[in-house]
């Protein structure tokens, strides 16, 4: 096997786009943690569906690892419904990543945020 054939992750081997690679890594890590929580709590698929606010077939797809069926934001929602605290840095550590996902620190925006509400405004 040459260095050309070595990949740090299965997602690196399957996906050429580094943005998609990171997204797949995060989604797979969240899916594994959610599945583990369901198992640890002894929930049936129907009970998990009720807790997660999804259908039983979606729980089945999650437990089968059908990653293409789930967006990152929906997985974060499910994790929160299970009482899990989602931290990108924690997920990256779990994946064995050495570099943080976001390497720069920015000052928070302190300017005025325009009011996009429609209707009468009080002045």
Share of the chain above pLDDT 70, in %: 58
- The pLDDT mean for the chain works out to 77
How far apart are the C-alpha atoms of 71 and 62, rounded to whole Å? 11
- Copy the structure tokens of residue 72: 């990152």
Asked if residue 54 belongs to a domain, the reply is yes
User: Which residue has better confidence, 91 or 115?
Assistant: 91
Most confident of the ranges 17-21, 31-35, 87-91, 97-101? 31-35
Mean pLDDT for 40-68 is 96
CATH label of the domain that carries residue 36: 1.10.260.40
Residue 32's SS3 state is helix
Give residue 13's pLDDT.
58
Q: Assign residue 42 a region: left if phi > 0, alpha if psi is -120 to 50, beta otherwise?
A: left
Asked if residue 102 belongs to a domain, the reply is no
pTM metric for this prediction = 0.65
Asked if residue 108 belongs to a domain, the reply is no
Rounded to the nearest angstrom, the gap between the alpha carbon of residue 113 and the centroid of all alpha carbons in its chain is: 28
Q: What is the DSSP letter of 8?
A: S
């Amino acid at each position: 096997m040459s260095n050309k054939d070595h990949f740090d992750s299965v997602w690196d081997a399957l996906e050429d786009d580094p943005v998609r690679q990171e997204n797949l890594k995060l989604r797979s890590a969240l899916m594994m943690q959610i599945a583990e929580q369901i198992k640890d709590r002894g929930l049936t698929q129907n009970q998990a569906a009720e807790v997660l606010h999804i259908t039983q077939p979606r729980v089945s797809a999650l437990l089968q690892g059908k990653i293409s069926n789930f967006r990152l934001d929906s997985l974060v929602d499910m994790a929160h419904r299970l009482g899990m605290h989602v931290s990108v840095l924690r997920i990256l550590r779990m994946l064995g990543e050495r570099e943080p996902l976001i390497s720069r620190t920015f000052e928070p925006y302190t300017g005025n945020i325009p009011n996009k509400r429609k209707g009468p405004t009080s002045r």
